[in-house]
Amino acid sequence: MISETLQKAREFESHYGSFIPADQRPAFHVTPTIGWMNDPNGFSPYKGEYHLFYQYHPYSNEWGPMHWGHLKTKDFIAWERLPVAIAPDESYDASGCFSGSAIELPDGRQLLLYTGVQRHHNKEGFIQDIQAQCVAIGDGVDYEKCGENPVLGAADLPEGGSFIDFRDPKIWQEADGTYYAVIGNRTEDTSGAILLYCSTDGLKWELARTLDRCNNQYGKMWECPDFFVLDGVHVLLTSPQEMSPIGLEFHAGNGTVCLIGDYDPAGKGFVRRYAQAIDYGLDFYAPQTLLTPDGRRVMIAWMQNWSTVGAKPYNCRWFGQMTLPRELSVKNGRLYQNPVREFEGYRERCVIHNNIPVCSEVNLPGIQGRMLDMTVTVRPTGSEPYRWFRVRVAKDGEHETIIRYRPDQGTIKIDRTRSGLPHDIVHTRSFLVSYREGEIKLRIILDRFSLEVFVNDGEQAASTVIYTRQEADAITFEAGGAALMDVEKYDIVLDQ
């Protein structure tokens, strides 16, 4: 049964979404059909394709009562839009269908597990959420919410767990058929925890354990958890609110944390060994992963930051983008990420320049554009090795976005101050990179409204949105001191 609320949203997006010309969107990054988008939801294989849902408010470019927008793809790069999947149309989700996940059931149906939000006034008159987990089941296009909803609520929390902040279930199935879900929660110390639940059918759930607790170390409430095995270790991803900065690793506000450790289900549970940021750019939040049939762990995230969502281009008809899906691995105890290999199938017109001496600003024949995949490798040379190296992209007389490497400090800085956003928000971010005798490899991916940088074969990634006019497509290189550079650049070509 399609409710009136869902029908209205479907009609709205199919009518107004068609007015947005393809060249006013990114070519290969997901955007909402119309209006507002935040977290990726339900990123999962289903019937031989990959589905992606997203937090969606079609009616404006602001956050509002959350629906789930929907798309699917065969290769993570070319996406097909599907109608809105679910809308806030039941008493238990009247204030929003918040983030969640999806899985294919043994009978071929698709199960969506999401957070239903009901808003009410508490004793002091303040507005308060009741957050509970709900299920909708469908055929990949239409979904029916279950009569048993909510399937997990206040009564299923451990002692001290808050029903106000209990959200973002990520479901998976183990080889023995048992379903598991990790869910974000706030504990009595006001910081976050990740709860682990299990189920035999995806409908009746039981608390298995508290998987990890923030203990006020990395931010407060932990949102959007994900938990999986990768290269022999266990990885717990979460997106904390209210983080305090720690060196250049974690910035203030909404951030992301990757905890790498071991998991012993019968004993101590998850024991962390290492913590790092997931992405080091300005815009990245709420990542979610899936496992492909050929065994790759692929992650996608909202390429935005809650602190900067007010700074949008005037009158934009879509707001919010996803990152390029990335293949994950763990090497030397760290999380590595690289664009999905399918992306390479869209590369055309290769331009290569090798051993180019760089000192004062240069541009090179064939190196420009706003939809491209470019790898720049820089090494020191001569008696005065370079102290800094800069790539400027999306550049014209007025605009530029700069990626700067300083081997003496071991830092990379992304600077979009002059990227064309007329708002006074955070425009720069610096992070530490490992030292390799002054050599650095930067894979830079541009797609009309964003820049993603993959450093040293995926050791780090940094994602940033830019709204520079498309005519600004020059790219230049410059070094303080002597450097030698190799550049390999491809245009990315998609039929639109």
User: In this structure, are residues 44 and 72 in contact, taking their beta carbons and an 8 Å threshold?
Assistant: no
The three state secondary structure string of 354-366 is EEEEECCCECCCC
Task: Single out the residue of 317, 330, 239 nearest to residue 279, CA to CA.
Answer: 239
- For ligand FRU, the nearest residue by Cβ is 98
Minimum distance from residue 18 beta carbon to ligand FRU (Å) = 25
What mask of x and - would describe binding to ligand FRU in positions 229 to 248, judged by CB under 6 A?
A: --------------------
Minimum distance from residue 184 beta carbon to ligand FRU (Å) = 7
Minimum distance from residue 398 beta carbon to ligand FRU (Å) = 33
Nearer to ligand FRU, 39 or 415 (CB): 39
How many Å separate Cα 108 from the centre of its chain? 28
Is there binding between residue 113 and ligand FRU (CB under 6 A)? no
User: In this structure, are residues 358 and 378 in contact, taking their beta carbons and an 8 Å threshold?
Assistant: yes
Candidate list 31, 33, 38, 185; residue touching ligand FRU; CB under 6 A = 38
Which residues does residue 373 pair with via DSSP β-bridges, in sequence order? 445, 490
Please confirm, yes or no, whether 93 is among the known catalytic residues.
Answer: no
Start-to-end CA span in the chain (Å): 33
Between residue 274 and residue 313, which ones bind ligand FRU under the rule CB under 6 A?
285-286
Is there binding between residue 476 and ligand FRU (CB under 6 A)? no
Minimum distance from residue 326 beta carbon to ligand FRU (Å) = 19
Is there binding between residue 381 and ligand FRU (CB under 6 A)? no
Residue 244: how many other CB atoms lie within 10 Å: 14
Minimum distance from residue 201 beta carbon to ligand FRU (Å) = 24
The three state secondary structure string of 23-39 is HHCCCCCCCCCCEEEEE
What mask of x and - would describe binding to ligand FRU in positions 138 to 177, judged by CB under 6 A?
A: -----------------------------xx---------
Is there binding between residue 66 and ligand FRU (CB under 6 A)? yes
Is there binding between residue 115 and ligand FRU (CB under 6 A)? yes
Candidate list 56, 79, 98, 386; residue touching ligand FRU; CB under 6 A = 98
Minimum distance from residue 66 beta carbon to ligand FRU (Å) = 5
Nearer to ligand FRU, 92 or 336 (CB): 92
Nearer to ligand FRU, 156 or 223 (CB): 223
Minimum distance from residue 307 beta carbon to ligand FRU (Å) = 12
From the candidates 23, 39, 176, 262, which is the catalytic residue?
39
Is there binding between residue 44 and ligand FRU (CB under 6 A)? no
Number of residues near ligand FRU (by CB under 6 A): 13
Minimum distance from residue 286 beta carbon to ligand FRU (Å) = 5
User: In this structure, are residues 10 and 3 in contact, taking their beta carbons and an 8 Å threshold?
Assistant: no
HSE of 470, CA atoms in CB hemisphere, 13 A: 10
How many Å separate Cα 340 from the centre of its chain? 14
Is there binding between residue 118 and ligand FRU (CB under 6 A)? no
Candidate list 99, 149, 289, 308; residue touching ligand FRU; CB under 6 A = 99
Candidate list 13, 35, 39, 227; residue touching ligand FRU; CB under 6 A = 39
Which residues does residue 257 pair with via DSSP β-bridges, in sequence order? 238, 277
Long-range contacts of 157-164 (CB under 8 A, 24+ apart): 157/185, 157/195, 157/207, 158/195, 158/207, 158/210, 160/187, 160/188, 161/185, 161/186, 161/187, 161/193, 161/195, 162/186, 162/187, 163/130, 163/131, 163/132, 164/128, 164/129, 164/130, 164/131
Nearer to ligand FRU, 226 or 373 (CB): 226
Is there binding between residue 183 and ligand FRU (CB under 6 A)? no
Task: Single out the residue of 359, 371, 353 nearest to residue 473, CA to CA.
Answer: 371
Cα distance between residue 34 and residue 24, in whole Å: 12
Residues in contact with ligand FRU by CB under 6 A are 38-39, 55, 66, 98-99, 115, 167-168, 223-224, 285-286
| Residues labelled catalytic | 39
